[in-house]
Amino acid sequence: MLRELGFVLCIASAVSVSACGSSSPSSPTSPASTSTGSAGSTTTTSTTTSTAPPTTGPTTRAWTNVAYATASSANRLDLYLPADGNGPFPTVVFIHGGGFSGGSRSQGLSTAQYLVTRGYAVATIDYRLSGEAKFPAQIHDVKAAIRYLKANASTYFLRADRFATWGESAGAGLAALAGTSGGVFELEDLSMGSAGADSRVQAVVDLFGPINFLTMNSEWKLLGVTNGQDHDAANSPESQLIGAPIQTRPDLCTLYNPETYISTDDPPFIVQHGSADVLIPYLQGKNFADKLASALGPAQVTWMLMDGAGHGGSAFSSSGNLSLLASFLDRSLK
């Protein structure tokens, strides 16, 4: 049985989130030193090209609006470094939620601001949303971003063999998929650039992500939830992602499903889900974690059911939980 932790957490404010490059750069992207104030705001003070990291701010140095590929204007990332040192730093790739149809990399700023204080570089990435492109474009983008960062690790002071994905909601599904599908050719688009780098990661943080689209509605029934989101509907986030009602395209749902690719060489995972989530059933995370533990061993997988928590909120973003998640990364990446 996998390592299981139950949390009883008081939620001060619930945050609802809808469920669920070029081959080589001609020159390094210009770094920008930043002063970070309230979450979501960044003030650029310098854009001078340098062979050193960006000038330090109070807690963060950053390169912003970096093109990791050219397939879409969505192929952009922001990269944050710890305030001091030249690394190389272990790197966390933050993948935002928004039902595959919305959201942006700015959602990862507060997480990045915390993780840099723990010695991590953090890349917050945008990817093509379902209104622009259907699956597998989204995982192609995620993997292209990872390859770009690894290919340019020396430029950005990163340790190429110590990468993790961290996702929330829809982004967690993509983070999990990146974690289990290392080396799966059909989920890579090497024409997007950095083809010589690999996209494998060494740890995954999955926060209330969708995993198996085809079982979501049946899991509501198992849990006795009568007001859960209808994922089989033609206009559900998952149906919009694959371009058809999910039950009519089990092949595409299987292609997306991170469980499809579970193997004994997968990285360690931590999976958290709220017991009161009515957008994505918590059995998505529980069943996924059980299958991972069967393949990897219970020491490599942590499942946490956040008692009373919904789809996001302070149970996940509290300083205590961020510290717990960073400690998981420490064990895997440091």
- Could you tell me the residue ranges of all domains in the chain? 3-20+72-333
Q: For domain 3-20+72-333, give its CATH number from 3.40.190.10, 3.40.50.1820, 3.40.50.360, 2.40.30.10.
A: 3.40.50.1820
pLDDT recorded at residue 90: 98
Check: CB of residue 141 under 8 Å from CB of residue 170: no
Q: Is the pTM of this model over 0.75?
A: yes
pLDDT recorded at residue 60: 64
pLDDT recorded at residue 192: 98
Residue ranges in the chain whose pLDDT is less than 50:
1-51, 55-58
Number of separate helices (H) and strands (E) present in the chain: 10, 11
**Cβ atoms within 10 A of the Cβ of 258, count?**
28
Check: CB of residue 159 under 8 Å from CB of residue 89: yes
Report which of 19, 34, 169, 10 is spatially closest to residue 109, judged by C-alpha positions: 34
> Alpha helices, DSSP H only, in the chain?
109-115, 137-151, 153-156, 170-180, 216-223, 237-242, 250-256, 283-296, 314-317, 319-333
Chain segment 221-234, per-residue pLDDT in tens = 999 999 999 999 99
Strands 60-67 and 121-125: unpaired
**30 phi and psi angles, rounded to 5 deg:** -65, 130
Amino acid at 16: S
**Cβ atoms within 10 A of the Cβ of 27, count?**
7
Q: 100 in the Ramachandran plot: left (φ > 0), alpha (ψ -120 to 50) or beta?
A: left
Check: CB of residue 261 under 8 Å from CB of residue 180: yes
- At 217 the three-state DSSP class reads helix
* CA torsion through residues 227, 229, 230, 232, sign: negative
**46 phi and psi angles, rounded to 5 deg:** -160, 145
Q: How far, in Å, CA of 129 to CA of 263, rounded? A: 28
Q: How far, in Å, CA of 152 to CA of 196, rounded? A: 11
Report which of 207, 205, 203 is spatially closest to residue 90, judged by C-alpha positions: 203
Q: How far, in Å, CA of 60 to CA of 139, rounded? A: 28
- The order of strands in the sheet holding 3-8 is 3-8, 301-307, 269-274, 203-207, 158-168, 89-95, 121-125, 76-82, 60-67, 32-36, 42-46
